Structure 1
Amino acid sequence: MKTKKEKILRQPLSNRFVHWVTAISIFMLIITGMGQMPLYGRYLLVQPFGTQWLLSYEATLWVHYIFAAILMFVVFYHLFYHFMRKEFQIIPKKGDVKASYEIIKAMVLRKHEPPSEKYLPEQRLAYAFFAFSIGLVIVTGIIKVIKNISGVQPSNGVLLWGAQLHNLAMVLIIIGIVMHLGAFLVKANRKMLPGMFTGYVDKDYVKERHSLWYKELEKESKKDKNKRKVL
């Protein structure tokens, strides 16, 4: 009879909410943004059922605005939530590039990985990449919207660079998504997947791959036990 594996909470509800709302918003922004270029009417030979609205510039524009507003809300919520709670584990640290190289080298050579915290160095770097790309797409998106406000007319140079950088940001986000999903081709990384659905990952996985974080959890657990004894 198999014993039930112990679980550790890795991604609380707030993190999962931010992750999935951001993912859905970005997906909708990409497909509606491409619809405004317009690409579907020119190059899509077969129109799948239920996607005819993508041929309408007005429809894609309003859907684009709606999900842009949702993305901005979730970004500000994410920043405010973690700032108030002083949770900065995902912020890149000095030496993350070298540490990422060491971890990747260990995986390729099938050697034991260096001890890691709650987030791997490459996860912190990926977070910074997405933060920059999403920040750029929001700022340039606001510039593109400002031109539609009556009485406000940015210079042609601002509009040109705003549009170009907005497109660049979209490309960077797509590259980031491909790399993010591609990371799960590595078997060791797949054990993190349950955390984004249920919030929990196996205790053995944490103990083996995130040993520094595991030690912190043990210290917190001991402190809680001592407090209970005092009470």
Structure 2
Amino acid sequence: MKQNKKDKILRQPLSNRLVHWITAISITMLIITGFGQMPLYGRYLIVQPFGTGWLTRYDLTLYVHYFFAAVLIFIVFYHLVYHVMRKEYDIVPKKGDGKGSYEIIKAMILRKHEPPSDKYLPEQRLAYAYFAFSIGLVIITGIFKVIKNIQGVQASNAFLLWGAQLHNLATVMIIFGIIMHLGAFVVKANRKMLPGMFTGYVDKEYVKDRHSIWYEKLRKHKKD
């Protein structure tokens, strides 16, 4: 049965959805082209699917890598400025999120009712901090790797070694984070958040049940 807008609540406005998907696409392309520069595809890709031949060319993968790196830096800057200007910090980790995450996971395992949550679950705020650190590290080390390629710039071997290692570490952290992020939707309750990243709206009853703190804030704001 089709629901109308009265049965739904806006969880992710257009700005959030654009940031999410542009970041996802940028990171995906950075990972793909980053592997191409190692180079893995030319050595180990025995069968090359149609349209993937360019992945074996270092010059092309480098230019595409730089392009999506610039896109990622822009969208991160936009995300930070946008929310600071609007003073929106719902996704920022709070004191007690570690314990809160434990309580929610325990409730899921024991099939009990979860403790009340705000707009974002404690584990979502912790995941955001994890991605913020990983993406920040990959951007900073990536900038260092670009600077050392500038003509006339001489970097020490230690600088080059640690820059590359930290960049690789950040990449592995991001890949691990993506796997965990997608794996979270194995849990049935989490799947109800998915429509929010496409349409922006989630089910009202879901919000009342799982995000009761946020729901009460919305009710109070509506009354005011």
TM-score range, shorter chain: over 0.9
SS at match of 1:111: coil
SS at match of 2:100: helix
Q: Where does residue 28 of structure 2 map in the other structure?
A: 27
Q: Where does residue 106 of structure 1 map in the other structure?
A: 107
Q: Where does residue 149 of structure 2 map in the other structure?
A: 148
Q: Which amino acid aligns with 1:98?
A: K
Q: Pairwise mapping of residues 1-231 of structure 1 onto structure 2 (< 5 A)?
A: 4=4, 6-223=7-224
TM-fit CA distance, 1:154: 2.0
Q: Which amino acid aligns with 2:197?
A: M
Q: Which amino acid aligns with 1:161?
A: W
Q: What is the percent sequence identity of the aligned residues? A: 78
Hey, what's the Cα distance between the residues in 2 that align with 1:107 and 1:150?
56
1:165-220 per-residue CA deviation (whole Å, 9 max, x = no partner) reads 00000000000000000000000000000000000001000000000000000000
Question: Do 1:144 and 1:163's aligned partners in 2 also have CA atoms closer than 8 Å?
Answer: yes
Q: Which amino acid aligns with 2:70?
A: A
1:115-155 per-residue CA deviation (whole Å, 9 max, x = no partner) reads 00000000000000000000000000000000111222222
Runs of 4+ in 1 over 6 A off after TM superposition: none
TM-fit CA distance, 1:12: 0.4
Unaligned ranges ≥5, structure 2: none
Hey, what's the Cα distance between the residues in 1 that align with 2:29 and 2:163?
20
1:86-124 per-residue CA deviation (whole Å, 9 max, x = no partner) reads 000100011101100100010111100000000000000
Q: Which amino acid aligns with 1:63?
A: V
Question: Do 1:146 and 1:153's aligned partners in 2 also have CA atoms closer than 8 Å?
Answer: no
Hey, what's the Cα distance between the residues in 2 that align with 1:154 and 1:146?
9
SS at match of 1:201: strand
Change (3 A) 1:81 1:2: closer
SS at match of 2:78: helix
> How many residues are paired up?
223
1:19-38 per-residue CA deviation (whole Å, 9 max, x = no partner) reads 00000000000000000001
Question: So what's the TM-score if we normalise by structure 1?
Answer: 0.95
Change (3 A) 1:68 1:98: same
TM-fit CA distance, 1:158: 1.0
Hey, what's the Cα distance between the residues in 2 that align with 1:2 and 1:72?
40
Unaligned ranges ≥5, structure 1: 224-231
Hey, what's the Cα distance between the residues in 2 that align with 1:171 and 1:148?
23
Hey, what's the Cα distance between the residues in 2 that align with 1:40 and 1:152?
30
Hey, what's the Cα distance between the residues in 2 that align with 1:190 and 1:216?
23
SS at match of 1:113: coil
Question: Do 1:191 and 1:201's aligned partners in 2 also have CA atoms closer than 8 Å?
Answer: yes
